[in-house]
Structures are given as C-alpha cells and as structure tokens.
C-alpha cells in the first residue's frame, strides 16, 4: 500500500479548511455520495489523518472537519483516554495506512474530565469500568482550571502516544508523521491546535 501524497502540515491545513466550513455553516459534506462509497470498495486507500476524539456526541470528527468517506481514520474513547486497543488502532493508522497526521481532539465541557475532577477532589467515586476512564485522565488535567483542562489532557495524551508507541515515535522522528493536540469549542465549533507540531 502506498502512502498518502500529503505531508503533516498539508493534512492539518486540509482539516482546518473543513473546520472553517463547519463553523461558518458552509459544509460541503464532501466525498459522501454513492460513487465515493463504491470507489472505496477495495480498500480505504489512504485516509488523510487519524483522529483520536472523545465519545461526546457533540464532537464527531467527520462533521467538525467536514470530511467524507475514507478521509479520517477515527478512534474515539471517553476523554480521549488511551488503552492498548486505542494505541494499537493508532499504530495501525500510522504503520499500515500511512497517515501523515494523528490529531488528539479534546473539547471543553468534557464529561470524562469532569468526573475525574470530582474524583480528584474527593467529591465522587468512580465505580466499575468508569474507574478506568478516570485513571486515564491526566492528573494535571483533573487539577487544571475548567477552561484549561481539555488542552492539558490533549497535550498529555499526545505525549503518551509518542512515549508508548515506538512505531509512531520513529515516524515522528523521521518527520513522516506529526502527532498534535487540539481542542474543540462547543460554542463556536472551532478547532484550535494546542501542541506545536515537531
């Protein structure tokens, strides 16, 4: 399988153009018609980016970036918390699909971070599998002011991905891939980069 012809900066610029359409209410809903569906029958070809987003129903990556079929390799977990399956999915995107960009997309008003904050303060306990989500929220994010928590969590997840995935770290070192953090504003719909591309 050949890699995509775009580099990390081009991929990010492409996503941001889509987000600009989304925030303006000028979505194109590109590459979502039947002919596109049929064109991807053999393989998903080469998505332009992998996005690790939160499960929050208000932040679907394909919509906020105005993308279509085959465009984004999407992984979602509450709070963008990492586990082996999430990391394996991102390694697949980088090593097999050859995406040039991995975006960790947090957002304000995140419920997972909110629960972690309450647990950190001793105001709540997390039972069952919710405990795994709380454990995956960076302590610094749980302690950060509400307006900064999403950014702190996104940056922490970016660092953890690179630290825990040697194939991704190697691709970053070779400048074939960038892993960046971003946050989404529920109010404006705008996505903002919060960690510099290496």
Interface ranges with Zn ion (CB under 5 A): 54, 56, 110
Q: How far is the CB of 109 from Zn ion (least distance, A)?
A: 8
CA distance 95 to 137: 26
Q: How far is the CB of 190 from Zn ion (least distance, A)?
A: 16
Q: Which is nearer to Zn ion, 110 or 115 (CB)?
A: 110
Q: How far is the CB of 175 from Zn ion (least distance, A)?
A: 31
Q: Which is nearer to Zn ion, 54 or 82 (CB)?
A: 54
Q: Which is nearer to Zn ion, 15 or 110 (CB)?
A: 110
Q: How far is the CB of 173 from Zn ion (least distance, A)?
A: 30
Q: Which is nearer to Zn ion, 53 or 70 (CB)?
A: 53
């Amino acid at each position: 399988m050949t890699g995509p012809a775009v580099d990390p900066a081009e991929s990010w610029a492409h996503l941001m153009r889509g987000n600009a359409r989304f925030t303006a209410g000028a979505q194109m809903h590109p590459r979502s018609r039947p002919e596109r569906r049929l064109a991807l029958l053999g393989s998903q070809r080469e998505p332009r980016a992998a996005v690790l987003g939160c499960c929050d129903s208000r932040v679907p990556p394909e919509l906020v970036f105005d993308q279509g079929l085959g465009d984004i390799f999407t992984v979602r977990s509450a709070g963008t918390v990492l586990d082996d399956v999430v990391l394996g999915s991102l390694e697949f995107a980088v090593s097999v699909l050859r995406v040039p960009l991995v975006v960790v997309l947090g957002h304000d008003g995140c419920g997972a971070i909110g629960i972690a904050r309450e647990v950190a303060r001793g105001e709540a306990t997390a039972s069952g599998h919710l405990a795994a989500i709380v454990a995956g929220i960076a302590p610094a994010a749980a302690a950060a002011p509400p307006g900064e928590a999403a950014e702190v969590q996104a940056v922490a997840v970016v660092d953890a991905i690179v630290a825990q995935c040697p194939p991704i770290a190697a691709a970053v070192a070779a400048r074939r891939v960038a892993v960046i953090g971003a946050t989404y504003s529920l109010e404006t719909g705008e996505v903002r980069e919060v960690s510099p591309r290496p």
